[in-house]
């Protein structure tokens, strides 16, 4: 199981953000150094990421176009990872899932955690099947797959399902009422954020676009169309 969203490496870092995996390549590296670092980074996960997408983030013009094309082909050939894009920026250019904002006023006690800053996240690179429970009370969960009916995911922080949510999802189990639940297709059996519960109606179907659930006014869970922040 992946301990959190960041695997420590001196030259390459693999992080889970709200839009998926990012492969962050630090400056002043040769393509050979990058290849070795990627192999070491992915091997630490002890799980296949086959079929997942990844964005390459270059912290400076470290690699030229030919080297980037080579790296793209090697990621596909060696790890079955699909490169969805290449970005040149810095560490603050793309805020992680911890930066997902809330747009509603949320009543909270003074002793209830309300911030995502510094909170870890766990990547689960497979579908949660019926009868299976995936839990990460220390922070947020990112599911690279579906949560099938009869499956359940629980997180102290946010929950992001990069597939269809048909089972149950409990976010904010550590008391953070600002936690959110995001899914590419929303057809859950039950949602819970903190102590607030939202049970779906019978035969609810997904709407065909990403949605986000959060606590709105009067501590009621609301579900809205998810728009990229």
Residue 99: DSSP 8-state: G
Is 73 in the same domain as 147? no
- The β-bridge relationship of strands 140-143 and 159-165 is parallel
Residue 158 has what pLDDT? Answer: 93
Q: Would you say residue 123 has pLDDT above 60?
A: yes
Digit-coded pLDDT (tens) for 75-115? 888 888 888 888 876 444 333 333 333 333 333 333 334 44
In a domain, 171, yes or no: yes
Is 72 in the same domain as 122? no
Q: Which of 53, 88, 123 is the last residue of a domain?
A: 88
Q: Would you say residue 36 has pLDDT above 50?
A: yes
**How sure is the predictor about 60, in pLDDT bands with cuts at 50, 70 and 90?**
low
CB atoms under 10 Å from CB of 190, counted, come to 13
120-131: average pLDDT: 89
Is 53 in the same domain as 19? yes
Residue 159 has what pLDDT? Answer: 94
Is 76 in the same domain as 151? no
177-195: average pLDDT: 90
**How sure is the predictor about 32, in pLDDT bands with cuts at 50, 70 and 90?**
confident
Closest listed residue to residue 217, CA positions, set 56, 112, 99, 103:
103
Q: Would you say residue 7 has pLDDT above 50?
A: no
How many structural domains is the chain composed of? Answer: 2
The count of C-alpha atoms lying within 13 angstroms of the C-alpha of 111, restricted to the half-sphere facing its C-beta, is 0
Element spanning 159, H or E: strand 159-165
In a domain, 145, yes or no: yes
Mean pLDDT (the chain) is 76
Residue 204 has what pLDDT? Answer: 60
Residue 151 has what pLDDT? Answer: 94
Digit-coded pLDDT (tens) for 128-185? 999 999 999 988 999 998 999 999 999 999 999 988 999 999 999 988 888 999 998 8
Element spanning 225, H or E: strand 221-225
pTM over 0.75, yes/no:
no
Is 125 in the same domain as 192? yes
Is 133 in the same domain as 185? yes
Is 210 in the same domain as 105? yes
Is 124 in the same domain as 173? yes
Residue 80 has what pLDDT? Answer: 85
Give me the helices (H) in 53-185, please: 65-79
Say what percent of the chain tops pLDDT 70: 72
8-18: average pLDDT: 65
Is 217 in the same domain as 109? yes
| Domain with 118 in it | 97-225
More confident residue, 3 or 199: 199
**How sure is the predictor about 191, in pLDDT bands with cuts at 50, 70 and 90?**
very high
Phi/psi-derived region of residue 66, left when phi > 0, alpha when psi is between -120 and 50, beta in every other case: alpha
Q: Would you say residue 3 has pLDDT above 90?
A: no
Please state, in angstroms and rounded to a whole number, the distance separating the CA atoms of residues 53 and 175.
Answer: 32
């Amino acid at each position: 199981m992946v301990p959190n969203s960041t695997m420590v490496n001196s030259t390459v870092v693999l992080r889970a953000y709200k839009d998926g995996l990012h492969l962050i390549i630090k400056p002043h590296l040769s393509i050979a150094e990058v290849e070795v670092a990627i192999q070491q980074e992915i091997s630490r996960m002890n799980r296949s990421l086959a079929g997942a997408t990844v964005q390459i983030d270059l912290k400076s013009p470290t690699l030229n176009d030919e080297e980037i094309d080579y790296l793209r082909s090697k990621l596909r050939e060696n790890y079955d990872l699909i490169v969805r894009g290449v970005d040149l920026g810095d560490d603050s250019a793309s805020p992680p899932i911890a930066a997902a904002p809330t747009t509603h006023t949320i009543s909270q006690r003074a002793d209830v955690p309300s911030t995502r800053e510094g909170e870890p996240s766990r990547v689960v690179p497979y579908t949660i099947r019926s009868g299976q429970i995936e839990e990460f009370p220390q922070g947020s969960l990112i599911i690279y797959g579906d949560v099938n009916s009869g499956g359940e995911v629980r997180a102290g922080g946010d929950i992001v399902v990069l597939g269809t949510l048909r089972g149950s999802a409990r976010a904010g189990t550590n008391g953070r009422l600002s936690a959110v639940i995001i899914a590419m297709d929303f057809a859950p059996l039950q949602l819970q954020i903190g102590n607030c519960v939202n049970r779906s109606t019978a035969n609810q179907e997904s709407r065909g676009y990403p949605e986000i659930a959060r606590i709105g006014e009067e501590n009621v869970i609301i579900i809205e169309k998810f728009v990229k922040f």
